[in-house]
Chains A and B, each alone.
Chain A
């Protein structure tokens, strides 16, 4: 895991090109924000990898689309059902918004949402810094 962290940090340092001026303290808040953002992305990727390991899969491809119908909801473990039901009600939401409803930690919801994406029940879309989760209903069949 540490190896991954180092690799990822190097990658994001190269990718985001934080300027020297900023590092020198002119925009410390901005830098802290960037670090937080990158850590969040890293966290998300680790969560996905943990989930993939649990399922004994090595690739990042989600399972073939699996409709989130009520019978599927019924057969889910309780912790995932709570997250999935909340998203059913909200339609489209970030992990933060789901966490506000379920009163569980944002990181916990993020892990569950990513697991539901891997299982093929949800779709995920990034918009700027935010990741939105939703149920694809209309374009199917």
Chain B
């Protein structure tokens, strides 16, 4: 039997495509018949409620981390959004300004308890509820909530671009964050402008990235105007399965599935 895994999607800078990758990776794994739970841990800029167009939310992940409700109350069943597939649940971060302010003002003790609540998800979601994957969409950089997510995860996917400050920051995080917590880390290179349609083109970028980061490369995503046109609200694996972006996510999901066995 496949043992469930927790995957954190993180990056050094904002705008590298964490949410896009999290949502589409989750949907692709669901399409592959997996039972997936996607959790928005970006409490500074929550976006899943908008991206997935969910209006009525009673309990947020903020409440779970505050210890005022259990995880069952948070989870929203979106399985019907992905046809002929597995199971898809999401947990959302509260986008209200007051909630964001509240989350940024937490102290160390609260963050320590929040880490305990996140670590407990391994038992409640993977062992008890039998999820195959729990995917954390996180805030960029070295934030408490993101590092809590990284510590709780089995695999960290780092979304990065070829932007120089992003490359430098990502390199530092690999050595000074993920390595220190002994986390398995894979890179997804996003918004690539090089021609990667040919094998030679892909090989060139792959070699460059492996040299720079000294970490495994999970996938290369070219800069697709269609993705930008979708305004962040398109689940490609469901709505445009023939699109190259959906196919790349398909390959990434297969790699994760194989690596995690």
Seen from chain A, the residues whose Cβ lies within 8 Å of a Cβ on chain B are 67-74, 78, 81-82, 85, 88-89, 91, 135, 137-138, 140-141
Query: Would B108 and A72 count as touching, CB distance under 8 A?
Result: yes
Query: Would A70 and B113 count as touching, CB distance under 8 A?
Result: no
Closest to A78 in B: B180
Closest to A85 in B: B181
Which applies to chain B's interface (DSSP): helix, strand, loop or mixed? Answer: helix
A-B contact pairs, 12 of them (CB 8 A): A67-B108, A69-B144, A70-B147, A71-B147, A74-B177, A78-B180, A85-B181, A88-B115, A88-B119, A91-B119, A137-B112, A141-B109
Query: Would A69 and B119 count as touching, CB distance under 8 A?
Result: no
- A70-B151, A89-B119 known; A138+B108 contact, CB < 8 A: no
The 5 closest A-B pairs by CB, nearest first: A70-B147, A69-B112, A67-B112, A137-B116, A69-B108
B interface size (C-beta, 8 A) = 18
Partner of B151, one of A73, A137, A138, A141: A73
Q: Is B166 an interface residue (CB 8 A)?
A: no
- Bitwise interface map of B from 158 to 178 toward A, beta carbon under 8 Å scored 1, else 0: 000000000000000000010
Seen from chain B, the residues whose Cβ lies within 8 Å of a Cβ on chain A are 107-113, 115-116, 119, 144, 147-148, 151, 177, 180-182
Closest beta carbon of chain A to B66's beta carbon, Å: 12
The complex places the Cα of A67 from the Cα of B108 at a distance, in Å, of 7
Partner of A137, one of B113, B180, B181: B113
Residues on A with C-beta less than 8 A from B115 are 69-70, 88
Query: Would A81 and B180 count as touching, CB distance under 8 A?
Result: yes
Task: Output the residue of B109, B112, B116 with the most chain A CB within 10 A.
Answer: B112
Residues on B with C-beta less than 8 A from A78 are 180
Closest to B110 in A: A141
Residues on B with C-beta less than 8 A from A82 are 182
Query: Would B180 and A74 count as touching, CB distance under 8 A?
Result: yes
